[in-house]
């Protein structure tokens, strides 16, 4: 994957006026589907999903404000962010005082257009820069406002790819597709996950990967409601969001800070000599809120480059293609790839011969001449060797501890344990478990 390929997809997805449900989301998934074999789930409007209801599709045909001379001073054709997302239709003449109640701007960022939505309250509104508001809205004028929109029954679209691995031990990779025309939040997430899925499709994976493109919150809730047993069995996961800014790497911890996913991310960032920020788990954020909720308790983290909430351009028109660069997404992709390579090795095995010691010699896995070898004590400075790795694996692998935990207990690098485990598996001494419990 080259930065040019990233740029092409970034430029194609950026202009689309996405919302929670509608044709723009289907168009987004159609483009992503040109890269990876997406299955599309359409969930009918009005479906009850736990405490929520799937919204109607939002159709936005046109939106503008004209001044008393009939000149369009705000026009959706100049920016998708100009209209409050999910606005109801309106066509009225209003005084300055009345129209002001429907205008959103940021005095501390006078050039930026904020992004605002009203998903669940029937309202309408416009967003504009504070400079435009100050310059174009005269207190004595009357303004004509027009929003040509519809809320129609249809369906909410979710894109999914399931990449089967050698086991059904499953890792979730999810991003959201409901934001219009903002590059870091979250076209960068969609682009990175598309290329990550491509990478996994070309790789021989041990884990299975469940890859989701869904509207934030309501999409994740609906997916959980429809796949309850599947989500409960997921080992761990990553929400891919805000991965393309110029700022530092950061990662938001999963709900159990000592879970292997967090340790693996930290190891990878350290090995990459990256300065990074650590954000403890928080009840605010993205779809980790749903997957970590009481019924599911999946440990889901996020690696970010200019994390949502933290950068100034967040949820404004300044989160654009000048702010996000393909090179930054490529850097994040590299980190995600390394984390996934590590996660993929974190498998759970069971010793098929738990009755006393397995005879490695007859399988060609032990030196034929006894008495000469140096044994490596746990945490000693003696070099690691694969024979001791095998002995530790045979001691610990009982179907309840993943290689990551055995690595912590023994000090052996996970890669060495993984290679030894695969060799033992080839000899039939270890057996890959279908699933591991979610021990932290
Ligand atoms: Zn957002």
Residue 261: partners with Cβ closer than 8 Å, 6 or more residues away = 236, 237, 238, 254, 299, 300, 301, 343
Distance 261 CA to ligand 1 centre (A): 23
pLDDT number for residue 435: 61
Distance 223 CA to ligand 1 centre (A): 19
- The first and second tokens of residue 226, run together, are 């429809």
Distance 50 CA to ligand 1 centre (A): 23
Among 340, 176, 310, 334, smallest CA distance to 245 is for 310
Distance 17 CA to ligand 1 centre (A): 14
Distance 157 CA to ligand 1 centre (A): 18
pLDDT number for residue 365: 83
pLDDT number for residue 440: 40
Distance 308 CA to ligand 1 centre (A): 7
Distance 109 CA to ligand 1 centre (A): 18
Q: Is omega for the bond preceding 330 within 30 degrees of 0, making it cis?
A: no
Tokens 């060799």 sit on residue: 423
Residue 115: partners with Cβ closer than 8 Å, 6 or more residues away = 81, 85, 127, 179, 180, 182, 315, 316, 317
Distance 265 CA to ligand 1 centre (A): 23
Distance 202 CA to ligand 1 centre (A): 31
Q: Give the length of the chain.
A: 440
Distance 334 CA to ligand 1 centre (A): 23
pLDDT number for residue 439: 43
Q: Which pTM value belongs to this model? A: 0.93
Question: Please, what are the averages of pLDDT over each run of 10 residues along the chain (440 residues)?
Answer: 96 98 98 98 98 98 97 98 98 97 98 97 97 96 98 98 93 98 98 98 95 98 97 94 97 96 95 92 97 97 97 98 98 97 95 92 75 56 78 95 92 93 95 63
Distance 376 CA to ligand 1 centre (A): 51
Among 65, 219, 77, 236, smallest CA distance to 155 is for 219
pLDDT number for residue 360: 87
Distance 412 CA to ligand 1 centre (A): 40
Distance 286 CA to ligand 1 centre (A): 8
Distance 434 CA to ligand 1 centre (A): 36
Distance 185 CA to ligand 1 centre (A): 5
Distance 39 CA to ligand 1 centre (A): 24
Distance 90 CA to ligand 1 centre (A): 26
Distance 184 CA to ligand 1 centre (A): 9
């Amino acid at each position: 994957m080259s930065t040019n390929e990233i740029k092409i997809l970034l430029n194609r997805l950026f202009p689309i006026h996405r919302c929670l449900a509608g044709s723009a989301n289907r168009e987004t998934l159609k483009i992503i589907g040109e890269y990876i074999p997406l299955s599309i789930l359409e969930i009918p409007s009005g479906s009850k999903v736990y405490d929520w209801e799937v919204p109607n599709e939002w159709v936005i045909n046109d939106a503008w404000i004209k001044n008393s001379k009939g000149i369009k001073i705000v026009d959706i054709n100049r920016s998708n962010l100009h209209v409050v997302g999910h606005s109801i239709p309106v066509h009225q003449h209003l005084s300055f005082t009345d129209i002001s109640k429907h205008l959103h701007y940021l005095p501390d960022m006078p050039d930026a257009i904020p992004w605002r939505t009203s998903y669940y309250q029937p309202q309408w509104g416009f967003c504009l820069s504070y400079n435009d508001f100050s310059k174009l809205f005269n207190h004595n004028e009357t303004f004509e406002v027009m929003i040509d929109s519809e809320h129609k029954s249809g369906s909410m679209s979710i894109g999914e790819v399931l990449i089967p691995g050698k086991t059904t031990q499953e890792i979730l990779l999810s991003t959201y597709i409901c934001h219009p025309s903002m590059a870091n939040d979250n076209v960068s997430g969609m682009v990175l996950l598309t290329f990550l899925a491509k990478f996994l499709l070309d790789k021989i994976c041990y884990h299975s990967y469940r890859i989701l493109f869904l509207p934030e919150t309501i999409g994740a809730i609906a997916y959980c409601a429809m796949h309850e047993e599947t989500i409960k069995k997921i080992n761990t996961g990553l929400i891919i969001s805000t991965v393309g800014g110029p700022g530092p790497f950061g990662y938001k911890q999963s709900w159990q800070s000592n879970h292997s996913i967090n340790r693996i991310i930290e190891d990878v960032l350290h090995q990459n000599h990256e300065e990074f920020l650590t954000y403890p788990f928080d009840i605010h954020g993205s779809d980790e809120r749903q997957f970590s909720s009481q019924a599911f308790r999946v440990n889901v983290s996020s690696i970010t480059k200019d994390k949502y909430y933290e950068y100034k351009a967040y949820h404004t028109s300044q989160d654009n293609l000048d702010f996000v660069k393909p090179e930054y997404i490529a850097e994040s992709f590299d980190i995600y790839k390394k984390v996934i390579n590590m996660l993929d090795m974190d498998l759970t095995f069971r010793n098929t011969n738990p009755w006393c010691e397995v005879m490695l010699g007859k399988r060609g896995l032990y030196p034929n001449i006894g008495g000469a070898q140096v044994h490596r004590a746990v945490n000693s400075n003696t070099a690691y060797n694969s024979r001791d790795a095998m002995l530790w694996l045979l001691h610990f692998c009982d179907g309840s501890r993943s290689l990551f935990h055995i690595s912590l207990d023994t000090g052996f690098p996970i890669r060495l344990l993984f290679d030894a485990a695969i060799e033992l598996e080839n000899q039939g001494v270890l057996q890959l478990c279908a699933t591991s419990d979610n021990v932290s």
